[in-house]
A = this chain, B = another copy of it.
Amino acid sequence: MTPRLVEVRKNVLKRNDELARALRQRFRHAGVFVVSLVSSPGSGKTALLETTLRTLGETYRVAALVGDLATENDAARLLRSGAPVRQIVTGTVCHLEAEMVERALDEWDLAALDILFIENVGNLVCPASYDLGEDLRMVLLSVTEGEDKPLKYPSIFNTADIAVITKMDLADAVEFDLETAAENILTVRPGMRIVTVSSKSGQGMEYLFKLLAQGRSSKRFAPPPDGQILLG
């Protein structure tokens, strides 16, 4: 990057941080617990979110914002859960920014919500630097992507609070090595909580829902036990 680009980017990030701080205060004031999802494209964010909205929607007032460069397909898909959903179309931008979230929330009564999910653009790099004011950031890694990804994309794992290993129903077919994957995650972020799930088979989902509900009721996430892998 040229020095000028570095400088401009620094200002953009600083402005984003300020907006994210304001958003976080607004969320806190409204009493809404905000969870964001980041991952590579096709790791199963939308599938996980669809099941989550459906299940947690039975107990909580849930809603979602979903980011994509193009199409409103994900919003259409998530609306089937019955929860309020809004699509953010970013055009050429490879991540969500606090300002986009703020604009998308326009006219939404946050106090009428218990949990708000924000699905970021599918990207293992760009979203890392942008705080969205969320309480909890989940990074998803599907078993089909390979155990090495945490080492190759350390920033996104470093800025997340939980790692969710998805598509566990395919683990055998792709000879996924959970131990190595967990070791790589913990190398990048020691002590990170790791949850294994499958939206398809339902494996681990109940445990994840429990974590989210627990996070919501404490409005802060309990620090993970050292290096413990929690198989849901």
Contact = CB atoms under 8 A, between A and B. Distances in A.
Interface of A: 1-2, 4-5, 8-9, 11-12, 40-42, 68-71, 73, 92-94, 121-126, 142, 144-146, 148-149, 151-155, 167, 170, 173-174
Contacts of A153: 41, 69-70, 122
B123 A71 contact: no
A152 B2 contact: no
Contacts of A8: 2, 4-5, 8
Nearest to A174: B170
Contact of A42 (B69, B71, B126, B146): B146
Nearest to A97: B1
A68 B54 CA distance: 37
A158 B42 CA distance: 19
A71 B125 contact: no
Given A8-B8, A149-B41, A144 B125 contact: no
Given A8-B8, A94-B94, A70 B151 contact: yes
A62 to B, nearest CB: 23
Contacts of A151: 70-71, 73
The 10 closest A-B pairs by CB, nearest first: A42-B145, A94-B125, A144-B144, A40-B41, A42-B146, A41-B124, A71-B151, A5-B8, A68-B152, A8-B8
Contacts of A5: 8-9, 12
Contact of A12 (B2, B42, B149): B2
Contacts of A144: 42, 142, 144, 167, 170
Contacts of A148: 71, 73
Contact of A122 (B68, B92, B121, B152): B152
A119 to B, nearest CB: 12
Given A5-B8, A41-B152, A94-B126, 14 more contacts: A8-B8, A40-B41, A41-B124, A42-B144, A68-B152, A69-B125, A73-B152, A92-B125, A122-B153, A123-B123, A123-B124, A125-B126, A170-B174, A173-B173
